[in-house]
Structure 1
Amino acid sequence: MSKTSRIFLQPHTAVVHQENMIRSRRGFLKGIALGAAAVIAAPVLSRASAYAAEAGGNKVLILYFSHSGNTRRLAGQIHGRVGGDMVELKTVVPYPQDYDAVVDMAQKEQQSNARPQIATEIPNWDEYHTVFIGFPNWWGTMPMPFFTFLEKHNMGDKNVIPFCTHEGSRLGRSESDLRKLCPQAHMLKGFEVRGSRVSSAQKDVDAWLDGLGFPARN
């Protein structure tokens, strides 16, 4: 069904490349600006350091937010490879299922710098040494519930590994936002994949995790 296009522009951002997206409101999230110019290169831990979280007996957490289900499936692929605990970040007031409605809501939350109330509790937060942060790219970064969560949960010097689904925006400025929210954390190389390719992304996921030092489980 055809939807009216509304392209959201930000400084140092790029408009989506595919013309068939431009006339679709779906271009809101698919064509969100990358913001790559604003991202400062992050230090990457060695393979041994990255895997030390699990090898040393510390827990791995895969914390994700998913609306359409794509990020949930990607989180499952990572979990199947590295193990640990997988937790879905949920809000007290669920986001609407209607695509147009969630697009508008996501825009308003970001413009007002909102902090949606979250329902997810992680009582054993301090036990985790490595935390994967998974999300769909909404308006160039993480959905605002992650801002709520990370302002309430001190990441300290944990390893932080972002991963996201998108339709053209890649990681956007999410890595930069994560560094601001978790200034003492060790940021490892993130992973991004188009939502339409998640079902066939396992080989790419494995290659990424190999590079971080997470060997395949027996």
Structure 2
Amino acid sequence: MMKKEHSAYPESFSRRDGGLSTSRRAFLKTLVLGALAVPASALFARTAFAAQAGGDNVLIIYFSHSGNTRRLAGFIHDRVGGRMVELKTERPYPEDYDAVVDEAKKEQEANARPAITTTLDGLDKVDTVFIGYPNWWGTLPMPFFTLLERYPMAGKTVIPFCTHEGSRFGRSERDLRSLCPQARLLEGFEVRGSRVSGAEKDVAEWLTGLGLTAAR
């Protein structure tokens, strides 16, 4: 069975003394706030667009801790081609689930910008950028804040895709809009990490709906 992508979903937290841990209470507060965020339809374009598949003009950037988002990125790459880049940090996150959840929360509370080793060479040739991530505490992992502040996406088409265990996009779409204010953002794709293995058909339908040309 594939290991779930860590998304700080409530059922993954410990129940100490039969009650909610502080981390879990904080998560539920985050989830409620995310539900009140501006609807995605107000932030993302829904109209179809034509994008040439393959070559240097399509870039798929993803961050994956357990492998689910990486697999989802692969499904997209199979359909649209282009170049895949994995976002990596200088200091790897812990393998232990509870440890990575705690570290991700601390980074978010500190508004941290974790050091990354990833570079985006040839970004000037790119027209369409897919951005993939697990939902960590209601938004993108903080390394994406580092990356997108370092590499502006002005004038590009940006398309998010997200894995989670119930919290969907959270407020990540709103944060992505803030990080890429001069980009054209299209409606993204979200799926539970536990269902990624069966999502290839849904990914194909989503991309077709966006008007993307398949690579095969």
TM over 0.5: yes
Identify the residue that residue 207 of structure 2 maps to in structure 1.
Answer: 209
Identify the residue that residue 140 of structure 1 maps to in structure 2.
Answer: 138
Determine if contact 1:12/1:37 at 8 Å carries over to the other structure.
no
Q: Aligned equivalents of 1:81 and 1:55: distance in 2?
A: 8
Q: Unpaired runs of 5+ in structure 1?
A: 15-32
Following TM superposition, by how much is the alpha carbon of 1:56 offset from its aligned partner in structure 2, in angstroms? 10
Q: Which amino acid aligns with 2:211?
A: G
Question: Does residue 37 of structure 1 match 2:33?
Answer: no
- Number of residues paired by the alignment? 196
Q: Aligned equivalents of 1:170 and 1:56: distance in 2?
A: 28
- C-alpha distance after superposition, 1:96-147 (max 9, x if no partner): 1011110100000000000000000112111111100000000000000000
Determine if contact 2:63/2:88 at 8 Å carries over to the other structure.
yes
Q: Aligned equivalents of 2:111 and 2:199: distance in 1?
A: 33
Identify the residue that residue 105 of structure 1 maps to in structure 2.
Answer: 103
Compared CA separation, residues 38 and 92, structure 1 to 2 (3 A) = same
Question: Does residue 164 of structure 1 match 2:162?
Answer: yes
Following TM superposition, by how much is the alpha carbon of 1:79 offset from its aligned partner in structure 2, in angstroms? 0.4
Determine if contact 2:64/2:133 at 8 Å carries over to the other structure.
yes
Compared CA separation, residues 9 and 195, structure 1 to 2 (3 A) = closer
Q: Unpaired runs of 5+ in structure 2?
A: 1-11
Map 1:1-218; keep pairs closer than 5 Å. 3-4=14-15, 5-6=20-21, 7=24, 8-9=26-27, 13-14=31-32, 35-40=34-39, 41-44=42-45, 46-47=47-48, 49=49, 51-52=50-51, 54=52, 59-218=57-216
- C-alpha distance after superposition, 1:42-90 (max 9, x if no partner): 241632x3x23x2697610000000010000000000001100000000
- The percentage of aligned residue pairs carrying the same residue is 63
CA RMSD of aligned residues (A): 2.1
- C-alpha distance after superposition, 1:184-204 (max 9, x if no partner): 110100110000000000111
SS of the residue corresponding to residue 13 of structure 1 reads: helix
Compared CA separation, residues 2 and 144, structure 1 to 2 (3 A) = closer
Compared CA separation, residues 59 and 2, structure 1 to 2 (3 A) = closer
Q: Which amino acid aligns with 1:159?
A: T
Determine if contact 2:56/2:83 at 8 Å carries over to the other structure.
no
Q: Which amino acid aligns with 1:201?
A: A
Determine if contact 1:12/1:38 at 8 Å carries over to the other structure.
no
Identify the residue that residue 20 of structure 1 maps to in structure 2.
Answer: none
SS of the residue corresponding to residue 46 of structure 1 reads: coil
Q: Aligned equivalents of 2:129 and 2:120: distance in 1?
A: 12
SS of the residue corresponding to residue 127 of structure 2 reads: strand
Q: Aligned equivalents of 2:57 and 2:35: distance in 1?
A: 31
